[in-house]
Structure 1
Amino acid sequence: MHPFNPHEFVRRFMSQVYAADTRDKQGADLGVYVLTKMKAKQEHILKEFVEEVNKKTYLVVLENLTDMVDWDAVRTFLPDMKNGSWIIVSTQQFEIASLCIGHSYQPLELKQFSPEHSVCAFFKEGSQYNGYKEEKPMVCEVSPNLSLEKIPSSNMKEVVEWMTSYPFVGREPQMNELRRYTAGARFNNSPVISVWGIAGIGKSALVRNLYYDRMLNSKQFNKYCWVDISHPFNLRDFSRSMIADHHSEKDPIKECHDLLSKNQCLVVIDDLQSKEEWDLIQAALVSRSSASIIIVITTDASIATYCTNNEEQVFNVKGLEADAAKELFMKEVHRKNPLSALIGHNGAEVEELILKCGGLPKVIVSIAALLATQTVTLMDTVRSFNKKIMHHLETNPEYDSLRSLFNWMYNYFRTCPDSLKPCIFYLSIFPQGHNIRRRRLERRWIAEGYSRDSEDESAVDKGENFFSKLLDLSIIQQTPQLATTAFSETRMVACQVNGFIREYIVSRRMEENLVFELGPNCVLTTQRTGRHLIILNTWDRDRIVFESIDFSRLRSLTVFGKWESFFISKSMRLLRVLDLEDAFGVKDEDLKAMVQRLFRLKFLSLRGCSEIFRLPNSLGDLRQLQTLDVRHTSIVTLPASITKLQKLQYIRAGTKVPTSTPPASSRRLPEFRKRNSLVGVKVPRGIGKLTALHTLGVVNVGASGGKAIVEELKMLTQLRKLGVSGINKHNSKEFFFATSGLVHLESLLVQLDKDSQGCLDGISVSWENLQSLTLYGLRDKLPLKNPLSKLSKLDLEMDTLQRNDMEFLAKLPELCILHLRVKQLQPEDGKLHFHAQMYGEELDTFKKVKILEVSCRSSTLHVIFGSKSMKKLEVLKIDCSSAYYQISGLDDLSELKEVLLKGTNDATIKTAFERQLLSHPKKPTVKLADLPRSS
């Protein structure tokens, strides 16, 4: 079937199975029996199909196979059980026939009708066509309209050798995306594609696989050229390289031009290093109209953009994810030494070493190759690498292949903008594999002065641009559980520092005299000095060692683990950043001592310090303070003195939870908070004086004076992000009217008081610039009528959800992330429909949604996806803590990558979802996992 339909494939297969099982039936009874069996539920037919394929031996003939994507899909249903089953593929395409067998094949010509048309059978190389004896029997019949000589034998040998030497691991999604780029280049009449990323990231390997894939499978191109640029660049030599297989006595530049203008060529230009090189190439090759596609590979983002002049044709290659990195490491070990003790090794030390490779294939393969030969000294070598990986790689001659990577890093760090360099070295403050909130990092950069206001850009916007640049360069990367493209497009919440880049930075940070740390094996010394101090949780808290340190130049203090009162020194007079987000044991008296001594503080984070109950009045003396983060503490009131802090830009307090859920730390909070179920904090009168604020929340409006505090919020005209609780029938109209005047507002969180749902009656709000909206405590309708044209993230908690509200959500044009928490569904329906119809035809809905979270307190929940809804959904998150889920239409979610199950450790639920996704073409993973807390 075209397009391939997995359900129909299984049904056709089983109809023949049922027909073969009717030997005792005759005449019409046979047909009636088969028809009755085929009326069974799809789940039942799938179950019987699995039993048949797993337990019986089959000869399967696949007719009219035209696409390798279809072949891959079929092989998912018909795996090699090593039981003697055979598959015969009938196709008219040479490439399909050869690729179904594999790279080492042997053709047998059965009949030749003409030099261009033969019937051939393909076998594994070395096998006997009259008695196949290998473990994976498979035969392909081909009736090509192409000559067997279409692919030169020399090229085929090159393809086979390369694919054998360089296993393609973990790159399938990028490969599919790059295929779409080539299709888009032709469709958009934009012949140049730029592929870029840092050295060693695997750019050339990825493009090489695409190049060979197109060579073997595509009729789009009739000429292929791969050119590795020599430096210094010479256009004539470049042209000679391009026409190496097509040369004549003509001028090489003209002949190169003729080649591209008269043919449909796929040209790869590897290692482009300057815009000047491209200018010369473009003038000779690209400026003239042709049907050729050119792929440029470079390590420089600006060059990549310059070559295409079209951002949609720029492809950024990122490092391998953790699982793929481990798979590549083990494959390389096995290739070098099938008997290595590392094969199947799951020790923490090996895992740590792979993590330090940073997902860079070049580093992974190089280290794996060396370790594969180790025997009795294997683990000693692993430990030595973990301690000094940069020293080994830079000094050991066996790693000369990494020289280009180190040269790139050295040159990049030497020549990168002065504004970005300190942001990079600053990353070494965070331990290996530590999840870093994006907002935390950006606010620290601002406090340190790395990101500053300028005439054309604010410090906040500049910090976000720095973050984006480091993400593009793979210096920072998405956390493994958040590995989806949706987060990079919607300003992801958290990141990690690339393991390899971090090791490089750490090896240089003492040279820059920037960062020093107190960790295991620290001893008394006078050499410890620098601008940034890290106290790790592995340090033994030796006061004598601590007091021997010179803090006169200290700008930041970051504590991981247990807090000690002696961590604050009188000599820390220049301290700007005090970050205790990952510390525990901090108490009110400690905070009071900090405030009395650290007058220059610009950044103070006590996030998660649950033993902090109040902020001292002396907080008002910190006149330089820009950032105050006391989220997830036990603080319920901000002091009146906070209104003196005219430079405050960022206040985060309270805890964001549904009203029906008590705060996690409620047992430690005063009875006042327990009794009122507050999720925000009380703020003092005069908060409207803090006109520099762009982030404020969560403020309990009801506890802070109701309408009076709303009037003060109207004065904060620079607010971009606002979170409030305590909204009720006495203040709701005034609040929503006030927020409509905050023209810069991009993110809004609103928590309704319990039993105040009716306060939204008659209210219709519209926020033109709003990108993120959270509404908790709604009853049965949305206060949203006008389209929110820029809204990309929506988080709703409602008692019931009306069908017309769902239709409203389905039409939001930019919605990318949707979190939906419903207490109960409509009793007459009992279903959650993510689709809409008009005149009996299904509509394209939820067009850009990539992340969906669903939670319901009903005992059962039936979620239904339409065939035209959520076609870009990548992550489906389901709260299994209270409801049993039935989901229909999962196979229609064509881009689905992950299903995350929250609130359960039940492996049977996970297994049930995995079974339901067996026929999904993308083979999504199912995980028992939660996403990190919001920033």
Structure 2
Amino acid sequence: MSKVFKLMQRLVSSKEEAAKLHELILKCGGLPQVIVEIAGILAKKTVTLMDTVGSTNDRFMQTLENNPEYDSLQGLFSWMYSYFRSCPDSLKPCIFYMSLFPRDQSPRRRRVVRRWVAEGYSRDSEDNSAEQNGEKFFSNLLDLSIIQHPPQLVTATSGDRRMISCRVNGFIREYIVSRRMEENLVFELEGCCEITTQRTGRHLIIRESWDRDKIVFESMDFSKLRSLTVFGKWRQFFVSESMKLLRVLDLEDSLDVQDADLEKMLKLLRRLKFLSLRGCREIHHLPSSVGDLRQLQTLDIRHTLIVNLPGNIKKLQKLQYIRAGTSIQAQESSTPCLSVPKFCGRHRQFGVMVPRGINKLTTLHTFGVVNIGASGGKAILKELKDLTQLRKLGVSGINRRNSKKFSSAISRHVHLESLSVQLDKGSQSCLSGIVLPLKTLQSFKLHGPVEKLPVLKIDELSMLTKLDLEMTILTEDDIKLIGSLSKLFTLRIKLLQDSKLHFCVK
């Protein structure tokens, strides 16, 4: 394999040519047979080398399937055809769905699964929720090698393989893209497009490279559209009255999305089940009209400038997933940082204020980051106690005044698997002596300043696999406590004072 790569790299003479060749290599998906065949043909080219690279990139799968020079790959394509046709019908839409994301991006697992739930590809069953079934589908794609992940992105849990983000195998992605229009599922806008009646389907992707031609956009048929995903710059005309059936609006990291644009979206797209404004840093305000999205299940406004949730959000009885708040990079420090794996890029979390009546959202299973100190303190903690279906909770603003109430509020949360706590400044010892009876907890993040860990009963922490701490000092008792966590997989510790860490790993 390495010899083939070196041979191909010697055939180019500029960075631009190298970039085109690198793109071609990525499309091969690491398959030795495909790489060797392409390298062998390119090695025979002289004057037309880069023309061949460019044309192969533009029509990768068509070239490999139809060009007689690649006849030796026909067996591979016959196997690919039977491979996909033999997949369960319930999994096929999920496979085609992965081609929505650009080749050079790694979408987060949660983003993908929550979209499947909103689309109806993953539904509740007798034994599992729609999200649990979506996680199983995701694991199936991993087992089939359709999606892959670098090792450093794994956050394994006992008996389960989890990842933060994923990437579709390059060759399989090209195969999916070449077939998806046959299923009438996906259509996309990129580069410079002409007006055509063939752009119709369930999922529209606007690529960053598209020239944002309004005439082309308004000529399209959106009557069957179920999802809209935008990469790059947003334009006001991207929302249309004809998108009445739209369920998923994903604007993660889109540019130039303004508050006025959001107002228009919420007015026209009343059937949304998934709304992501994550990373839209020009959004300051979440309108009260969000309460009209009665079908909404997922709301992701993380890393926007939104600092409070409107009162009407309590009307969203089907809401299951709220991700809000932001983080900033903490100042660089010379203090020691122990990481397994290496971990020093600390971010301080900032939550949002939430209104009274949040306890009416009884279907919530993911909620955070909530600024407890700025949201009414005792009142919001009392309501938090009623959200007993929570699986994942993130809070900030914990201090001496509310720490005991907070401990009491989560004591009934018997399903909680992930807990993230950010303390206020000057609250070093506020958790000292407090008991956190969290039997089902798998992930625990406690960001400082912390002088002493809360009381954690070891028999109730048998599920704990991830521990992320930011502390003023780590005592010998704390080290013994950590050492007794037999199933711990990921340990991250940052000390805020000049101290030494002495661990004996057995």
TM-score (norm 1): 0.50
Contact kept in structure 2, 1:656 and 1:698, CA below 8 Å:
no
Shift in CA distance, 705/658, structure 1 to aligned 2, threshold 3 Å: farther
- Match of 2:479, as an amino acid? M
- Contact persistence 2:155–2:161 (CA under 8 A): no
1:565 aligns with 2:236: yes
What SS does the corresponding residue of 1:750 show, helix, strand or coil? strand
Aligned to 1:818: 491
2:339 paired residue number = none
Letter in 2 for 1:728: N
The size of the alignment, in residue pairs, is 488
Higher relative contact order (CA 8 A, sep 6+): 2
Q: Quick one: structure 1 residues 418 and 707, their matched pair in 2 at CA, closer, same or farther if it must change by over 3 Å?
A: same
Pairing 1:792–2:465 present: yes
Say whether residues 1:623 and 2:300 are aligned partners. no
Pick closer, same or farther for the CA change 1:646–1:486 going to 2, 3 Å: closer
How many Å apart are 1:596 and its aligned residue? 0.4
Q: Which digits, 9 at most, give the CA deviation of each residue in 1:105-150, with x for residues without a partner?
A: xxxxxxxxxxxxxxxxxxxxxxxxxxxxxxxxxxxxxxxxxxxxxx
1:344, distance to aligned residue in structure 2 (A): 11
Match of 2:202 among 518, 531, 542: 531
Superposed, 1:485-524 pairs within 5 Å as: 490-524=161-195
Matched with 2:362 is 691
**3-state SS of 1:371 partner:** helix
Residue 802 of structure 1, CA deviation = 1.4
Instruction: State how far apart, in whole Å, the 1-side matches of 2:427 and 2:253 are.
Output: 37
SS of the residue corresponding to residue 558 of structure 1 reads strand
Deviations 1:191-221 (A, max 9, x none): xxxxxxxxxxxxxxxxxxxxxxxxxxxxxxx
Contact 2:432–2:452 (Cα < 8 Å) also in 1: no
SS at match of 2:448: strand
- Per-residue deviation, 1:678: 7.6
Report the alpha carbon displacement of residue 793 of structure 1 after superposing the two structures with TM.
1.0
> Which residue identity is paired with 2:128?
E
Q: 1:343 to 1:330 in 2, by over 3 A?
A: farther
Q: Secondary structure at the match of 2:26?
A: helix
Whether the aligned pair in 2 keeps the contact of 1:490 and 1:792 (CA below 8 Å) is no
Contact 1:801 1:825 in 2 (8 A): no
1:728 aligns to what? 399
Cα deviation for residue 640 of structure 1 reads 0.4
1:833 equivalent in alignment to 2:502: yes
Tell me the secondary structure at the aligned position of residue 350 of structure 2.
Answer: coil
Q: Identify the residue that residue 424 of structure 2 maps to in structure 1.
A: 753
Letter in 2 for 1:833: H
SS at match of 1:797: strand
Q: Residue 338 of structure 2 aligns with which residue?
A: none
Q: Distance in 2 between matches of 1:640 and 1:516?
A: 37
User: Amino acid of the residue matched to residue 809 of structure 1?
Assistant: I
Letter in 2 for 1:341: L
* Pairing 1:250-261 to 2, within 5 Å after superposition: none
The residue that corresponds to 2:100 in the other structure is 429
Whole-Å Cα distance in 2 between the matches of residues 772 and 824 of structure 1? Answer: 25
- The alpha-carbon deviation at position 485 of structure 1 amounts to 8.0
**Alpha-carbon distance, 1:606 to partner:** 0.2
Tell me which residue corresponds to 1:24: none
- Which residue does the alignment assign to 2:53? 382
Residue 648 of structure 1 is aligned with which of 306, 319, 323?
319
Q: Deviation per CA, 1:152-203: give whole Å up to 9, x if none.
A: xxxxxxxxxxxxxxxxx5xxxxxxxxxxxxxxxxxxxxxxxxxxxxxxxxxx
| CA-to-aligned-CA distance 1:745-766 (integer Å, 9 cap, x gap) | 0000011111122221321223
Distance 1:499 1:434 in 2: 11
Distance 1:681 1:417 in 2: 42
- Correspondent of 2:67 among 388, 396, 408: 396
2:478 alignment counterpart: 805
Give 1:785 deviation, angstroms.
3.3
Give deviations 1:74-101, integer Å, cap 9, x for gaps. xxxxxxxxxxxxxxxxxxxxxxxxxxxx
Matched position secondary structure for 2:174:
helix
Q: After superposition, what is the alpha-carbon deviation per residue over 1:522-566, rounded to whole angstroms, capped at 9, x for unaligned? A: 112222111111111111111111101111111000000111111
Amino acid in the other structure paired with 2:69 = E
Equivalent residue for 2:337?
none
Q: Is the 8 A contact 2:449 2:496 kept in 1?
A: no
Please tell me whether residue 579 in structure 1 is matched to residue 250 in structure 2: yes
1:433–1:499 CA contact under 8 A, matched in 2:
no
Pair 1:758–1:341, CA change in 2 (3 A): closer
Matched residue, 1:302: none
**Could you say which residue in structure 2 is the equivalent of 1:680?**
351
- CA offset at residue 432 of structure 1? 1.1
- Tell me if 1:351 matches 2:36: no
Seen in structure 2, the aligned counterparts of structure 1 residues 745 and 565 have a Cα distance that, compared at 3 Å, is same
Is the partner of 2:416 in helix, strand or coil?
coil
Mapped to 1, the partners of 2:498 and 2:262 lie a distance apart of 47
- Residues 486/741 of structure 1: CA separation in 2 closer, same or farther (3 Å cut): closer
| Ranges in structure 1 where 5+ consecutive residues have no aligned partner | 1-168, 170-326, 335-339, 662-676, 836-844, 846-868, 870-935
Secondary structure at 2:387's aligned position in 1? Answer: coil
Structure 2 Cα separation of the partners of residues 781 and 758 of structure 1: 7
The residue aligned with 1:556 is 227
Contact 2:281 2:304 in 1 (8 A): yes
Q: What SS does the corresponding residue of 2:187 show, helix, strand or coil?
A: strand
Partner Cα separation in structure 1 for residue 481 and residue 396 of structure 2: 25
Q: How far does the alpha carbon of each residue in 1:211-265 deviate from its partner, in whole angstroms, 9 at most, with x for none?
A: xxxxxxxxxxxxxxxxxxxxxxxxxxxxxxxxxxxxxxxxxxxxxxxxxxxxxxx
Distance 2:184 2:54 in 1: 27
Give the CA RMSD over aligned residues.
2.3
> Equivalent residue for 1:12?
none
TM-score calculated relative to the size of structure 2: 0.92
SS in 2 for 1:692: coil
Whole-angstrom CA distance in 1 between matches of 2:154 and 2:76:
25
Alignment partner for residue 148 of structure 2, among 463, 469, 477?
477
Alpha-carbon offset, residue 647 of structure 1: 0.3
Report if the CA contact (8 A) 2:428-2:448 is conserved. Answer: yes
Amino acid at match of 1:795: D
The amino acid of 2:237's aligned partner reads: F
Relative to total residues, which structure has the larger strand share, 1 or 2?
1
Q: Deviations over 1:277-313 (max 9, x none)?
A: xxxxxxxxxxxxxxxxxxxxxxxxxxxxxxxxxxxxx
Cα separation, 1, equivalents of 2:349 and 2:374: 9
Q: CA deviation at 1:395?
A: 1.2
Question: Does structure 2 conserve the Cα–Cα contact (< 8 Å) formed by 1:524 and 1:548?
Answer: yes
* In 2, Cα distance between equivalents of 1:608 and 1:490: 27
Q: Distance in 2 between matches of 1:789 and 1:376?
A: 65
Shift of 1:328: 5.1
Between the aligned partners of 1:657 and 1:744, the Cα distance in structure 2 is: 30
* Structure 2 match to 1:604: 275
Cα displacement (A) at 1:588: 0.7
Aligned pairs (5 A) from 1:224-303? none
How much has 1:658 moved relative to structure 2? Answer: 7.7
For the pair shown, the structure with the greater C-alpha radius of gyration is: 1
- Cα distance 1:551–1:645, how it changes in 2: closer, same or farther (>3 A)? same
From the superposition, tell whether residues 484 and 445 of structure 1 become closer, same or farther in structure 2 (CA, over 3 Å).
closer
Alignment of 1:157-172 (within 5 A): none
Q: Indicate how the Cα distance of structure 1 residues 734 and 481 shifts in structure 2: closer, same or farther if over 3 A, else same.
A: closer
Change (3 A) 1:720 1:637: same
| Runs of 4+ deviating beyond 2 Å | 327-334, 340-346, 396-405, 479-490, 656-661
Distance 2:6 2:72 in 1: 19
What aligned pairs does 1:906-925 form with structure 2 within 5 A after superposition?
none
The question of 1:438 aligning with 2:113 is answered no
> Could you tell me which of 330, 350, 356 is aligned with 2:5?
330
> How far did residue 734 of structure 1 move?
1.5
- Give the partner amino acid of 1:447: A
